[in-house]
């Protein structure tokens, strides 16, 4: 029995020595790279109703759009500035306090999925159906460089390719088909500054361009697209994030007015003035050095004033609420998992007018949308 006790004492002592050396190695080892693979699954439904035409309610008019899609993502991050290991605090906090210069490359793919749109007018015994096959893929790069201890610069570029093919039918025996190919590019430049050890603020400016081979061609002139962000570490257990976005842009579009095979196609021209205000707030709870819970949301107000060539104007007044949460857990120093959920509620009031008409006749209706999204991502570091 004494011999067995001696053996157990040696094993326990050896295990304690190995554990201490492992943490020492972890504290001294610098991991610069991180690979992330993830997926996101979204279900979204739009309804359009409460039509009022020339002052008269028309409850028989309504439409509905449904889409369900998945998005597969991959990302690689390299930290030029070492983020040393510390088993007492989470990776997010270690990165925040390290002020790391870093490069992140990322891509996303949305495999082909179906979008179904149905419009009805029961009073006129009319129905229209549109079936769209949509796919998208995008890639981007984010660079952040701290040339000074507390001040850094950032640059981002993102390119998105969208492809659609669609078919149309209606109860008037009109049939059609078409396709749309769009390439959108977005550029962001910004500055980041630590006002103190626990407070970071960022100012970002975004501009974009677009190439389209489709039923719609748009030229965009962004007059202002600014985002102000702040992150404050209240304590080792609590962090706060806030953001405020303002956007003002003008655009000119040429749209094919009809895609039907047995009906002539005409071009329609219109100009848009878009204004966006979007405040956001998030709470980060660092429950354990290996576990973080994120709760956040934002409200987006977007107004689009559209003027068609001729006598027609349309105003879109969008209000959007997004609530999201995600849970991050590191199983080991090198392996982490993130699970998230997001809910978005949209409401829009649409007002179509003909200012030159004697009575300024027009149509109003409302649009509502709900979207649910679930995401999962796995990260490996070395």
Q: What is the rounded CA–CA span in Å between residue 69 and residue 135?
A: 9
Q: What is the rounded CA–CA span in Å between residue 369 and residue 65?
A: 9
Please count the residues of the chain.
382
**What is this structure's pTM?**
0.84
Q: Using one digit for the tens of pLDDT, what is the confidence trace for 45-62? A: 999 999 998 888 888 899
Do the beta carbons of residue 110 and residue 69 sit within 8 Å? yes
Task: Name the pairing type of β-strands 102-121 and 126-145.
Answer: antiparallel
- How much of the chain exceeds pLDDT 90, in percent? 55
pLDDT tier for residue 25 given thresholds of 50, 70 and 90: very low
User: What is the structure's pLDDT at 376?
Assistant: 97
CA geometry: angle 191, 196, 200, nearest 5 deg: 35
Helix (H) / strand (E) containing 146: none
Q: What is the rounded CA–CA span in Å between residue 293 and residue 297?
A: 14
Query: Is the pLDDT assigned to residue 21 strictly greater than 90?
Result: no
Beta bridge partners of residue 204, listed in sequence order: 190, 227
Query: Is the pLDDT assigned to residue 174 strictly greater than 90?
Result: no
- How much of the chain exceeds pLDDT 70, in percent? 84
Q: How many Cα atoms occupy the beta-carbon half-sphere of 254 within 13 Å? A: 9
Q: Using one digit for the tens of pLDDT, what is the confidence trace for 59-106? A: 889 999 999 999 999 999 999 888 877 888 888 898 899 888 999 999
- CB burial of residue 83 (10 Å; 0-12, 13-18, 19+): buried
For residues 161-178, give the mean pLDDT: 85
User: What is the structure's pLDDT at 257?
Assistant: 52
User: What is the structure's pLDDT at 259?
Assistant: 57
CA geometry: angle 109, 292, 321, nearest 5 deg: 60
User: What is the structure's pLDDT at 48?
Assistant: 93
Q: What is the DSSP string of 48-76?
A: EEEEEETTEE-TTEEEEEEEEEEEEEEEE
């Amino acid at each position: 029995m004494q011999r067995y006790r001696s053996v157990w004492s040696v094993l326990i002592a050896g295990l304690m020595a190995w554990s201490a050396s492992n943490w020492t190695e972890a504290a001294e080892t610098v991991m610069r790279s991180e690979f992330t693979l993830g997926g996101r699954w979204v279900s979204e439904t739009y309804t359009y109703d409460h039509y009022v035409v020339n002052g008269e309610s028309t409850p028989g008019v309504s439409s509905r759009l449904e889409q369900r899609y998945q998005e597969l993502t991959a990302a690689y991050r390299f930290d030029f500035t070492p983020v040393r290991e510390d088993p007492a605090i989470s990776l997010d906090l270690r990165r925040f306090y390290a002020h790391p210069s870093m490069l992140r490359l990322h891509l996303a793919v949305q495999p082909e999925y179906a979008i179904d749109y149905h419009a009805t007018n029961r009073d006129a015994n009319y129905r229209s159906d549109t079936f769209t096959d949509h796919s998208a893929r995008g890639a981007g790069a984010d660079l952040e460089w701290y040339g000074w201890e507390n001040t850094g610069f950032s640059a981002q570029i993102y390119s998105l390719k969208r492809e659609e093919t669609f078919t149309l039918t209606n109860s008037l025996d009109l049939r059609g088909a078409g396709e749309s190919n769009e390439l959108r590019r977005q550029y962001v430049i910004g500055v980041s500054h630590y006002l103190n050890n626990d407070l970071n603020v960022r100012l970002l400016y975004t501009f974009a361009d677009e190439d389209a081979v489709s039923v719609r061609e748009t030229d965009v002139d962004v007059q202002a697209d600014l985002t102000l962000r702040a992150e404050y570490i209240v304590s080792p257990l609590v962090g706060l994030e806030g953001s405020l976005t303002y956007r003002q842009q003008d655009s000119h579009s040429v749209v094919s007015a009809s895609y039907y095979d047995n009906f002539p196609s005409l071009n329609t021209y219109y100009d848009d003035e878009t204004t966006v205000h979007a405040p956001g707030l998030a709470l980060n709870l660092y429950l354990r050095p290996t576990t973080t819970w994120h709760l956040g949301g934002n409200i987006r107000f977007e107004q689009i004033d559209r003027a068609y060539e001729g006598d027609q104007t349309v105003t879109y007044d969008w209000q959007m609420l997004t609530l999201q949460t995600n849970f991050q857990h590191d199983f080991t120093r090198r392996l982490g998992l993130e699970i998230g959920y997001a809910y978005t509620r949209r409401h829009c009031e649409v007002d179509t007018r003909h200012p030159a008409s004697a009575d300024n006749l027009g149509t109003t209706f409302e649009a509502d949308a709900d979207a649910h999204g679930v995401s999962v991502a796995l990260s490996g570091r070395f």
